[in-house]
Structure 1
Amino acid sequence: MPSRTTLLFLVLCVIWGTTWIGIKAGVEAVPPLLFAGTRFIAAGVLLLGFTTWREGLPRLAWRDLPRLAATSLLMITLCYAALFWGVAHVDSGTAAVLEMSLTPIALMAFALGLREESFDRRRFGALVLGVVGLAILFGPTALRNWSVTAGDGAGLRLAGAAAVSWAAVVYGWGSVVARPLLRLYSSTFVAASTTLFGGLLLLGLSLAGEPGAIPALAGQWGAAAWAGWLFLVLFGSLIGYTIYMTLLREIGATRAGTYAFVSPIIAVLLGMVCLGEQIHLLDMLGMAVMLAGAGLAMAEPKPKSQLKPATN
């Protein structure tokens, strides 16, 4: 029977593999930063209320405030501001390859650099498998789309690709920075605080300079955008982000980050079911390699057998 950790990991993969539906519905009608900021603020308020009702608000030590602020800034504000802007200027295949491959790489790099984890050959092998699978699944489409439009706004596309890459890096950095907080406070409290503070900063950025942000505050977004917003608040943030924080605390950033090898498979399968998209043999190969990488990372290492002393 799967362990609790494995079940949480699978739930996270399914949730974050379906959030693209809500994001796509929202950003087509609402300025992206406003859409993201209001989503995180709503999720943060709800989570903070739930945390207060269930366990009461913890006494937050002053020395932990800088780390909490850094986590909010990295994982929410800087990540999603760059991600949403970058996705608007590169094709989805390129964005998928960059973000989903760089996120677990950044998680491992920062976990090792900040001494939150030690090097593990098995996890490194899982990372290599996952990145290779992502390249097989999304690489051909990304290269084809990039070459077809070569010379037409290439500079802006490069900037968009750089923004998506930056989003993956700061998300990995923030995840590792957050882990010491998760040893002191509950995952729901850390999730609530970071989403609320990060969302407020996103909203401030949107209102300060995003075209169309102030008129969009009237809320005339349309049914599809509001449905996407509610889905992202309830599932993407309230449930998904809290589960991710729990996994960060329990299994570390490197293993938790391998959701990036499973969520794209969920998205591809949903595209096949909902949009009639075709899956080819090469796609299936890429998905199989990605699943192998995630499975290797999540598998519990076997305890080393102890040699029994010889008896005469």
Structure 2
Amino acid sequence: MPSRTTLLFLALCAIWGTTWIGIKAGVEAVPPLLFAGTRFTAAGLLLLGFAAWREGLPRLAWRDLPRLAATSLLMITLCYAALFWGVAHVDSGTAAVLEMSLTPIALMAFALWLREENFDRRRFGALLLGMAGLTILFGPTAVRNWSAAAGEGAAWRLAGAAAVSWAAVAYGWGSVVARPLLRLYSSTVVAGSTTLFGGLLLLAASLAGEPGAIRALAGQWGAAAWAGWLFLVLFGSLIGYTIYMTLLREIGATRAGTYAFVSPIIAVLLGMICFGEQVRLLDLLGMAVMLAGAGLAMAEPKARLKPATN
């Protein structure tokens, strides 16, 4: 029977593999930063309200507030602001390769740098497998789209690629910075605090400079956008983000971050089922390699047998 950790990991992959539907429905009708800011702010309020009902009012020590602020800024504000801006300037294939491959690398790099984890050759091999699978799955599309648009807005595409790359780095950095907080507070409190603070900053940035943001506050988004927003609040943030925080505490950033090798597979399969998108043999190969990488990362190392003594 799968362990609790494995079940949580699979649930996270399934949830975050479907959130792209809600994001796509939302950003087509609502300014992206406003959509993300309202989503995270609402999720943070609900999570903290649930934590207060279950555990009592959360009391955060003053000495932990700088770390909490850094986590919120990195994982929510700087990550999603850069990601949404970058995706607007590069094709989805390039964005997927950059963000999904760099996130696990950033998680491992910062975990080693901040001494939250030790180097593990097996997990490093798993990251290489996952990145290879991502390249097989999304690489041809990214190269084809990049070549087709060569010379047309190349500077903006490079800037967009850099923004998507930074989003992955910010998310990985924030995830590792958050782990000491998870030893002191529940996953619900940490998830609620970071989504609330980060969401408010996103919302402020949107209202300060995003075109159409103030007008969109009237809420005339349409049924599809509101359905996507509600799905992202309830599943993407309330459930998914809390599960991710739990995995960060229990298995570390490197292993938790391998969701990035499974969630894209779910997204591709949903595209095939819901929108009739074609899946080629090469795509299936890429998915198989990505699953192998995730499986290697999540597998518990076998205990070494002690030599028999006479």
Distance of 1:101 and 1:58 partners within structure 2: 35
2:154 and 2:201 map into 1 onto residues whose CA distance is 30
- Distance in structure 2 (CA, Å) of the matches to 1:212 and 1:47: 29
Q: Does the C-alpha gap of structure 1 residues 152 and 62 become closer, same or farther in structure 2, counting only changes over 3 Å? A: same
Secondary structure in 2 aligned to 1:177?
Answer: helix
- Shift of residue 309 of structure 1? 6.7
1:277-303 per-residue CA deviation (whole Å, 9 max, x = no partner) reads 111110000000000000000001xx6
2:82/2:167 contact within 8 Å kept: yes
- How many residues align? The count is 310
**Alignment partners' CA distance in 2, 1:78 and 1:30:** 19
Task: Look up the match of 1:305.
Answer: 303
- Residue aligned with 1:221, SS: coil
Matched, 1:221 2:218: no
Contact 2:34 2:203 in 1 (8 A): yes
Measured in 1, the distance between the counterparts of 2:109 and 2:270 equals 31
Distance 2:144 2:20 in 1: 22
CA distance in 2, matches of 1:307, 1:19: 43
What's the Cα RMSD here?
1.2
% identical equivalent positions: 90
Q: TM-score, normalised by structure 1?
A: 0.97
Distance 1:112 1:45 in 2: 33
Structure 2: which 5+ runs fail to align?
none
1:117 to 1:208, Cα distance in 2 relative to 1, 3 A: same
Moved over 2 A (4+): 303-312
CA distance in 1, matches of 2:7, 2:25: 28
Q: Does structure 1 retain, via aligned residues, the 8 Å contact 2:33–2:81?
A: yes
Deviation sequence 1:226-275 (CA, Å, 0-9, x none): 00000000000000000000000000000000000000000000000001
Shift in CA distance, 305/266, structure 1 to aligned 2, threshold 3 Å: closer
How far apart are the structure 1 equivalents of 2:178 and 2:304? 36
In 2, the alpha carbon distance for the partners of 1:226 and 1:248 equals: 30
The CA deviation string for residues 138-180 of structure 1, in whole angstroms up to 9 with x for no partner, is: 0000000000000011110110010000000000000000000
Where do 5+ consecutive residues of structure 1 fail to align? none
State the SS of the aligned residue for 1:284: helix
Q: Distance in 2 between matches of 1:177 and 1:17?
A: 25
* Cα distance, 1:56 vs structure 2: 1.0
Residues 51, 58 of structure 2: 8 Å contact kept: no
| Residues 309 and 213 (structure 1), Cα distance of their counterparts in 2 relative to 1, 3 Å cut | closer
Shift of 1:57: 2.3
Find the aligned partners of 1:57 and 1:258 in 2 and give their Cα distance. 33
CA gap 1:153/1:60 in 2 versus in 1, 3 angstroms: same
Deviation for aligned residue 1:59: 2.3
Cα distance in 2, alignment partners of residues 223 and 60 from structure 1: 38
In 2, Cα distance between equivalents of 1:57 and 1:107: 31
Scaled by the length of structure 2, what TM-score is found? Answer: 0.98
Cα pair distance change 1:16/1:305, threshold 3 Å: closer
Distance 1:49 1:281, change over 3 A: same
Structure 1 residues 151 and 56, CA gap change in structure 2 (3 angstroms): same
